[in-house]
């Protein structure tokens, strides 16, 4: 049997069973109780627990009949929600007799924790509750009844969808067969099934007690599900603040189950993750950050700071790094993520611009924002940056490779030095970011997203932009190749292709083959034309956040970029004809 490293164990007797309780961290700090689901044991929380132990008194216990806890005799009737509530109170009284605890539950740990946080006898013992992948059976029962009594096509579709996802519940109600399966081939192959389906590392989970745990745990369903769904309690209101974390790719539970949750939990904070069911194993960093933020907010008696951005439930607490963040699209993107509650690292070779973006990010909702100065074309500087970020801030969840420079002028007037400069920043800067930060994402094994800002010039040839278009076309193809390579590791890759956007890239772009005076004149003219077009960088930032949420591959931004993209796909000859037109100078 695997034991959590560094944990102190004790036994707690309650209701004819003996529970195995593990503790980490300082008992003088706020107590966080982690409750596991089915067919798990407390070790499912090990990665989250060690991350929380630096700041909290972390308590994990094996639910009755699981892990190192004993099973009730007889099994039938020994796993009711009432008896599970007795167990929780016994653990809470043993580990934190004088202070309420912060409760965290996953899967059936969340199902039973909803009972704890909605019954009268636990009032005053729970300071907050974080729920993931497990609804209240009472709330679920009312959800079903409302759809049965007032059916609409949408509601019927929701019922059928969740009914299909709940196939395993029906099987667990059959006699004997689940026990035989878990003690036989299913228990033997379960670790490999999880590794293949959920893509998470093994470590100290699952434990060797899995076949017995799963066989005993079938009674969680048999003792509770049908009875509660038929007669849900009418007063199942949460008496503590609730944080709901919803994995968007959960194969067992629909997001729609929580549509009306504010009715039952008026002090509700919502979070979402682009992840599958077993997020305590696949996303421990993100969970620990959200739990810590929620616990500290409730310990201080202040409300949780709600980000106001459109995607606050998706990006709240995530670590986002944006290059070229000192101005333009980069600054707008950093601020959009900050407004959605993300922690932001603003990177730019202009130290003052990066610092200003970080300061603005903190003011509008980011829980933390930092500025870093680096030239993305410098490989060694980028290596040092990735090491510093990983050490001081953590592994990046979203990387936005935005830094770029402009270069116009005929091919025959473009010098090798001009080519080196534009490729060093526009292409090699993206390569460095993808390679270094992407490797960290892959090694962490918790997914992530890479956004590479290309351009409509990537697929729209122009006699005036051979070097710039070539660099952006390379970024587009690099993004497509990376998307294919990293998909199996849960890392999305998006190429953003803006058209004419009102940023300062026009006023700093170089023009090959002309003297300094003529270059300055052309810069002013280009800046004036882009200003008249006046497409704001904030709209590009919105497209970037939306693309990450939807995991889109190629996103043209601005009407002219979308039009050129359609021409490139369906009328390439017409686009090549347009490319021959000499632009006004």
Structure confidence by residue, pLDDT tens digits, 266-290: 999 999 888 899 999 988 988 998 9
> Is the residue at 512 inside a domain?
no
Strand pairing category for 242-247 and 268-273: parallel
Which 3-state string (H, E, C) describes 356-368? HHHHHHHHCCCCC
| Confidence at residue 304, expressed as pLDDT on a 0 to 100 scale | 58
Residue 274 shares a structural domain with residue 378: no
Q: How far is CA 74 from CA 43, 112, 155, 175, 215, in A?
A: 26, 20, 40, 15, 13
Residue 153 shares a structural domain with residue 289: yes
> Is the residue at 468 inside a domain?
yes
In whole angstroms, give the CA distance from residue 245 to residue 287: 8
> Is the residue at 548 inside a domain?
yes
> Is the residue at 208 inside a domain?
yes
In whole angstroms, give the CA distance from residue 505 to residue 406: 6
Q: Three-state SS for 449?
A: strand
Helices (H) and strands (E) in the chain, counts: 23, 17
Determine whether 468 is an active site residue: yes
Q: For residue 408, what are the β-bridge partners?
A: 511
Low-confidence residues of the chain: pLDDT under 70: 1-3, 200-204, 302-306, 502, 505-508, 519, 522-523, 526-533, 583-585
Q: Three-state SS for 187?
A: helix
CB 155 within 8 A of CB 257: no
Q: Cis ω on the peptide bond leading into residue 206 (within 30° of 0)?
A: yes
Q: For residue 35, what are the β-bridge partners?
A: 61, 105
Catalytic residue among 468, 530, 535, 565: 468
Residue 58 shares a structural domain with residue 178: yes
Residue 368 buriedness (CB in 10 A; 0-12 / 13-18 / 19+): middle
> Is the residue at 509 inside a domain?
no
Residue 497 shares a structural domain with residue 552: yes
- Domain ranges, residue 408: 312-503+536-579
User: Residue 294: left (phi > 0), alpha (psi -120 to 50), or beta?
Assistant: alpha
In whole angstroms, give the CA distance from residue 532 to residue 510: 21
In whole angstroms, give the CA distance from residue 298 to residue 69: 31
> Is the residue at 99 inside a domain?
yes
> Is the residue at 560 inside a domain?
yes
Residue 282 shares a structural domain with residue 400: no
Residue 319 is part of a domain; what is its CATH number? 3.40.50.720
Residue that is last in its domain, among 299, 333, 357: 299
- Give the residue from 529, 324, 531, 565 showing the smallest Cα distance to 408: 529
Residue 14 is inside which H or E element, if any?
strand 8-14
- Give the residue from 47, 45, 28, 26 showing the smallest Cα distance to 37: 45
In whole angstroms, give the CA distance from residue 194 to residue 539: 40
In whole angstroms, give the CA distance from residue 555 to residue 546: 10
> Token digits for 69?
């806890």
**How many residues are listed for the chain in this entry?**
585
| Confidence at residue 580, expressed as pLDDT on a 0 to 100 scale | 84
Residue that is last in its domain, among 266, 299, 332: 299
**The model's pTM:** 0.79
Residue 285 shares a structural domain with residue 209: yes
Using the Cα atoms of residue 344, residue 347, residue 351 and residue 353 in order, give the sign of their dihedral: negative
Residue 82 is part of a domain; what is its CATH number? 3.40.50.1820
CB 418 within 8 A of CB 512: yes
Q: Three-state SS for 451?
A: strand
CB 334 within 8 A of CB 352: no
CB 567 within 8 A of CB 574: yes
Total domains in the fold of the chain: 2
Residue 95 shares a structural domain with residue 146: yes
Q: How far is CA 51 from CA 30, 46, 290, 291, in A?
A: 15, 9, 11, 10
How wide is the angle at C-alpha 7 spanned by C-alphas 6 and 11, nearest 5°? 155
Tell me the backbone φ, ψ of residue 214, rounded to 5 degrees. Answer: -65, -40
Residue 20 shares a structural domain with residue 148: yes
Residue 372 shares a structural domain with residue 264: no
Residue that is last in its domain, among 246, 276, 299: 299
| Confidence at residue 573, expressed as pLDDT on a 0 to 100 scale | 92
Q: How far is CA 167 from CA 173, 251, 252, 419, 479, in A?
A: 11, 11, 8, 59, 38
Residue 219 shares a structural domain with residue 248: yes
Residue 458 shares a structural domain with residue 379: yes
Residue 232 shares a structural domain with residue 110: yes
> Is the residue at 306 inside a domain?
no
| Confidence at residue 1, expressed as pLDDT on a 0 to 100 scale | 40
């Amino acid at each position: 049997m695997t034991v959590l490293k560094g944990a102190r164990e004790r036994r707690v007797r309650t209701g004819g069973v003996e529970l195995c309780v593990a503790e980490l961290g300082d008992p003088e700090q706020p107590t966080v109780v982690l409750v596991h689901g089915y067919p798990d044991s407390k070790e499912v929380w090990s990665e989250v627990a060690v991350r929380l132990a630096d700041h909290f008194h972390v308590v994990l216990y094996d639910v009755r009949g699981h892990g190192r806890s004993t099973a009730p005799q007889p099994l039938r009737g020994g796993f009711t929600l009432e008896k599970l509530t007795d167990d929780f109170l016994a653990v809470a009284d043993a580990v934190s007799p004088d202070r309420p605890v912060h409760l965290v539950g996953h899967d059936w740990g969340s199902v039973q924790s909803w009972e704890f946080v909605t019954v009268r006898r636990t009032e005053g013992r729970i300071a907050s509750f974080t729920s993931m992948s497990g609804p209240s059976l009472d709330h679920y029962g009312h959800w079903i009844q409302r759809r049965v009594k007032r059916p609409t096509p949408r509601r019927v579709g929701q019922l059928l969808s969740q009914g299909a996802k709940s196939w395993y519940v029906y099987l667990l109600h059959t006699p004997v067969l689940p026990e035989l399966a878990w003690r036989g081939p299913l228990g033997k192959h379960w670790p490999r099934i999880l590794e293949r389906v959920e893509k998470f590392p093994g470590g100290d989970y699952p434990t060797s007690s899995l076949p017995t745990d799963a066989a005993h745990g079938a009674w969680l369903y048999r003792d509770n599900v049908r009875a509660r769904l038929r007669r849900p309690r009418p007063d199942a209101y949460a008496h503590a603040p609730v944080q709901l974390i919803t994995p968007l790719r959960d194969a067992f539970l629909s997001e729609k189950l929580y549509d009306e949750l504010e009715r039952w939990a008026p002090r509700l904070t919502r979070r979402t993750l682009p992840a599958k069911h077993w997020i305590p194993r696949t996303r421990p960093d993100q969970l620990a950050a959200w739990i810590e933020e929620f616990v500290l907010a409730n310990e201080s008696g202040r409300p949780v700071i709600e980000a106001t951005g459109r995607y606050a439930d998706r990006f709240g607490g995530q670590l986002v790094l944006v290059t070229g963040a000192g101005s333009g699209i980069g600054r707008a993107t950093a601020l959009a993520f900050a407004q959605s509650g993300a922690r932001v690292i603003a990177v730019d070779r202009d130290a003052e611009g990066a610092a200003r973006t970080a300061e603005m990010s903190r003011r509008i909702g980011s829980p933390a924002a930092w500025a870093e100065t680096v030239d993305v074309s410098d490989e060694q500087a980028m290596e040092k940056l990735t090491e510093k970020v990983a050490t001081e801030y953590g592994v990046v969840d979203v990387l936005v490779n935005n830094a770029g420079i402009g270069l116009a002028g005929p091919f025959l007037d473009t010098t090798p030095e001009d080519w080196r400069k534009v490729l060093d920043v526009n292409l090699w800067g993206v390569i460095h970011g993808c390679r270094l930060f992407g490797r960290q994402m892959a090694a962490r094994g918790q997914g992530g997203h890479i956004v590479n800002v290309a351009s409509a010039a990537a697929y729209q040839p122009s006699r005036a932009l051979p070097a710039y278009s070539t660099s952006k076309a390379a970024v587009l193809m690099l993004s497509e190749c990376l998307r294919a390579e990293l998909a199996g590791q849960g890392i999305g890759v998006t190429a953003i292709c803006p058209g004419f956007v009102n940023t300062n890239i026009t006023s700093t772009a170089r023009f090959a083959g002309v003297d300094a005076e003529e270059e300055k004149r052309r810069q002013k003219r280009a800046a004036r034309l882009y200003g008249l077009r006046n497409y704001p960088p904030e709209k590009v930032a919105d497209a970037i956040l939306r693309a990450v949420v939807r995991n889109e591959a190629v996103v043209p931004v601005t009407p002219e970029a979308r039009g050129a993209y359609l021409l490139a796909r369906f009328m390439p000859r017409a686009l090549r004809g347009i490319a021959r037109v000499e632009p006004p100078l």
